[in-house]
């Protein structure tokens, strides 16, 4: 028998599409003055603005290694993930494109160093597949976007390493999850 969390995960893992981190740099006039940064409460497109700011603050360099590679409790949240073996990410679009992840506070204006991570799309998709269900409706731009109060939110742990066996077992779990669910009678 399969539980509701597994069904939710199976459905939502396939639906989650990581965001695009493309941005345009704001031009500065000849006097060196640019548009001042808006207060969070005044921003009309919170998601776009926050991602553009993160892209400027946390560039993804050519052949950069996923920041969650080898970690046992990557990303924090209600269900931290086991990081990849060491996927290489790129600053361009394509299969190796790196993602910037905001979390566990999903408020994209929170660009603090412990809340923005440059990671591979595999780690990014896995974290969202496990954790999105714990978040409610996005609050106003000047408020944190944390898991609902009934859940315990863990901090990202950049120190604790997973063993090679834990990473391999995790890869097997993700690779077989959909196959196992497809063969289960849900009646």
Total of domains in the chain: 1
52 occurs within a structural domain: yes
Domain hosting residue 160, numbered range: 4-24+36-182
29 occurs within a structural domain: no
155 occurs within a structural domain: yes
For residue 155, the model assigns a pLDDT of 94
- Contact assessment for residue 151 and residue 131, using Cβ atoms and an 8 Å cutoff: no
- Contact assessment for residue 42 and residue 48, using Cβ atoms and an 8 Å cutoff: no
Cβ neighbors of 57 (< 8 A, separation 6 or more) are 111, 116
187 occurs within a structural domain: no
Taking only the tens place, the pLDDT of each residue in 65-114 is: 999 999 999 999 999 999 999 999 999 887 788 999 999 999 999 999 99
For residue 51, the model assigns a pLDDT of 86
154 occurs within a structural domain: yes
Rounded distance between C-alpha atoms, residue 69 and residue 39, angstroms: 34
- Contact assessment for residue 103 and residue 75, using Cβ atoms and an 8 Å cutoff: yes
31 occurs within a structural domain: no
CB burial of residue 95 (10 Å; 0-12, 13-18, 19+): exposed
Binned average pLDDT, 10 residues per bin, the chain of 187 residues: 53 44 42 59 73 92 96 96 96 86 92 95 94 93 92 96 97 80 44
Rounded distance between C-alpha atoms, residue 53 and residue 62, angstroms: 20
């Amino acid at each position: 028998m399969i539980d509701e969390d597994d069904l939710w995960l199976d459905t939502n893992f396939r639906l989650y599409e990581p965001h695009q981190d493309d941005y345009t740099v704001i031009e500065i006039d000849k006097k060196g003055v640019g548009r001042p940064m808006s207060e969070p409460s005044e921003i009309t497109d919170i998601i776009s603005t926050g991602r553009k700011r993160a892209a400027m603050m946390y560039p993804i360099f050519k052949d950069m290694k996923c920041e969650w590679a080898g970690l046992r409790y990557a990303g924090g949240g209600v269900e931290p993930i086991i990081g990849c073996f060491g996927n290489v990410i790129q600053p361009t679009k394509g299969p190796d494109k790196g993602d910037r992840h905001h979390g566990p506070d999903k408020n994209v204006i929170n660009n603090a160093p412990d809340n923005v991570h440059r990671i591979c799309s595999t780690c990014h998709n896995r974290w969202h597949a496990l954790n999105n269900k714990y978040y409610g409706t996005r609050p106003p731009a000047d408020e944190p976007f944390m898991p609902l109060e009934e859940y315990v939110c863990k901090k990202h742990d950049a120190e604790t390493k997973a063993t090679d066996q834990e990473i391999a077992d995790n890869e097997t779990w993700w690779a077989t999850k959909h196959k196992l669910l497809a063969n289960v009678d849900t009646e």
